[in-house]
Structure 1
Amino acid sequence: MTHRDFESWDEYNRRLKAATAAGHPEWVRLAATIKEAEGDRPYFTGKECKHGHVSPRYKSSKCMVCGLNGL
């Protein structure tokens, strides 16, 4: 990632707040977008999925919680 690709401090802080509120501040270290994730690696947007979960996602667009619960 180059400096030009950095998401911005505002976006980083938003993701950090979401990760901390979910009890996992380490999630902010994951890629921020599906493009950055490359392949099957998880990424963390900090936004709720359609079921209201805030957790990392996979390329399939399923959040980890939805995948574990079969949603």
Structure 2
Amino acid sequence: MRHGRRHGLSAEQKGEIWRRWKAGESLHEIGRAFDKDHGSIQFLLSKHGGIVPAIRRRSHRTLTSAEREDTSQP
């Protein structure tokens, strides 16, 4: 177990982990590829039940920050 290292994963790395998981690689293989313990990989995957989370998108009805600034002006 690696103590004292708390380096998170970037969005690219998480995407690669999900790709490898869907391709059938084991947790140990994925962990070795990212120099992480297989428990860290399992934690990431189990948070979503082993299913790739949907990409978050802002609703088309939501105002942009520029539009919000425009409406707050008197």
TM-score for the superposition, normalised by structure 1 = 0.28
TM-score for the superposition, normalised by structure 2 = 0.28
Could you say which structure has the higher helix fraction?
Answer: 2
Greater C-alpha radius of gyration: 2
Compare relative contact order (CA 8 Å, sep 6+) and give the higher one, 1 or 2.
1
